[in-house]
Structure 1
């Protein structure tokens, strides 16, 4: 999953700033084996991070050895890793981090269904698998249809399969159907949209080829550091402040949130997280808002990179390279649009020539 969710950020870190980047799939995802006999909690994933670092032929350990970037649930794991091994990190960047998500944002019913044990594991796994196979857009469309019908005082008929498990599936959907609440005035990056779309295809690939994916997903909802991690975040705030009395250096920390994210809600985190760090005035945390919903590291990756480069104090060369990348992508997008428009127009001309008895001009095109 990391190659899609953080692939654009990783590639631009390498190309624009010369970083050495390590990406790896968490247990039960991508090409990583599942771990069926252990809960998928922060301890498991922090252990996996240490194993991944140790597996590299290049050195990653030592004091201030590397910068850690965590996204979504990975951000929640990164908080625990930072509090356990603070001396290893040069800095910590959290992108829409889990950990203090309010339960109502994540889905109260979903948490209850997955953690209570009242639903047989096999049934829950079947419903989860079926819901993950369905494209996200279809779930959102169904929700919108129900809202529209409710406003008009209508009742939509339910298919028999949906009726049989509608309560359970609704609960499962609460944990999966996340999207932007509104459209940004600034359009997303064209290639970023394509990367975001690949995530759904990759999930369906894992459902077909990775037997450990669904159990890992279900265990994450139960055990991963998604909500209620107040103690770990309080410890992170102490690290961000530093302590000269204890000989503890200050850990540079940057938190990046999407303005339209309805999972890691900006307003919630401003109320719940910023006070832990003494507010923005304390200078203990760099707090940045960027366009987009929960997938902003894919759809608005260059906004993320500008924040990170500024936080790191990178040279102007990195920002110049990033701007050049943006210009190249815009040119490619523009050329593709013009080619498509030209091809469509040419085909219309050819159709008119055919209808009038004239020999059409042959036009080669790529789409």
Structure 2
């Protein structure tokens, strides 16, 4: 039995726009190659997959705020190097629905990886099939949780500004209504708090939506490759304005998600990488590559590096810092 869900802009926006209007959106429905909408017990999710069918496989898992478009150019570069890639929008982001009556915790989000790779015409796991994961921010602990549960399937991990070990959450995340939404005086008050955290405007430019001109939206047909550069600030604004279910997972992930105190999630995989456990796993005795942004004030590189070092010996950890 499917959970109730708030539909994404795939159902609430795109059918009311012309093809030209949809193409001008900050996140157009045909933004990336290999798009498909996957129906699940939790709602419908957006998945993209392209690249050589016989190439080594790489899965990208994005963070809390931005949908998977944040990886578009990186993914295309990986494809150009001969790899097969997959990206998907987490629940309540981009073109994925928002499941209700469930916590948006690491279990729900890590399960989404299974749903994404299970929708592929190719085998991503089982029978010796392996894939690598590149994860950003919240995607870090999500990917670690998945790897801990399915250690025989993951070839390598690259984490970009990973959450899970954050010592102090940024302003707004600790607000009472983000952890007890029932205390919010109104739905609009909670929406305003999420808006402040995301740093978007009160409202973006209005769209010419003709409610009486709904038509069945055809399956998205994307380009053969990524050529366009997407404005992530504009994508955030579009998502806040037009995804009717975006506020709920933003709040629920803050309350229940793996942003902090995720040592148990990290440790299980760190023990494999450092060769303490699971000698049968591809990650056994390998090295974890972690990138931090020099000016990132959410996932502070120095602090998180210290926390990782408590779980992983230095010869199994490579930390890089970027100006971006």
Structure 1 286/64 Cα, relative in aligned 2: closer, same or farther at 3 Å?
Answer: farther
Secondary structure (helix, strand or coil) at the match of 2:104 reads coil
Choose 246-255 or 256-265, whichever is displaced more.
Answer: 246-255
Residue 9 (structure 1) shift: 1.1
Q: Which residue of 2 aligns with 1:172?
A: none
Please give the residue correspondences for 1:1-367 in structure 2 after superposition, counting only pairs within 5 Å.
1-15=66-80, 17-62=81-126, 63=128, 65-103=130-168, 105-107=169-171, 110-117=174-181, 118-120=183-185, 122-128=187-193, 130-131=195-196, 132=198, 134-135=200-201, 195=230, 198-243=231-276, 247-248=280-281, 249-278=284-313, 280=314, 283-292=315-324
Residue 267 (structure 1) shift: 1.2
Residue 69 (structure 1) shift: 0.9
Structure 1: distance between partners of 2:195 and 2:292: 30
Unaligned runs of 5+ in 1: 137-190, 293-367
Structure 1: distance between partners of 2:86 and 2:323: 26
Q: TM-score, normalised by structure 1?
A: 0.57
Determine which structure has the larger helix proportion and give its number.
1
Larger radius of gyration: 1
Secondary structure (helix, strand or coil) at the match of 1:60 reads coil
User: What's the Cα RMSD here?
Assistant: 2.6
Unaligned runs of 5+ in 2: 1-65, 203-226
Secondary structure (helix, strand or coil) at the match of 2:290 reads strand
Secondary structure (helix, strand or coil) at the match of 1:94 reads strand
Do the aligned partners of 1:111 and 1:222 also contact (CA within 8 Å) in 2? no
- For 1:22-76, what per-residue CA distance to the aligned partner results, in whole angstroms no more than 9, with x for missing partners? 0000011111111121111110011111011000111111245100111011112
Q: TM-score, normalised by structure 2?
A: 0.64
Structure 1 102/108 Cα, relative in aligned 2: closer, same or farther at 3 Å?
Answer: farther
Structure 2: distance between partners of 1:50 and 1:245: 21
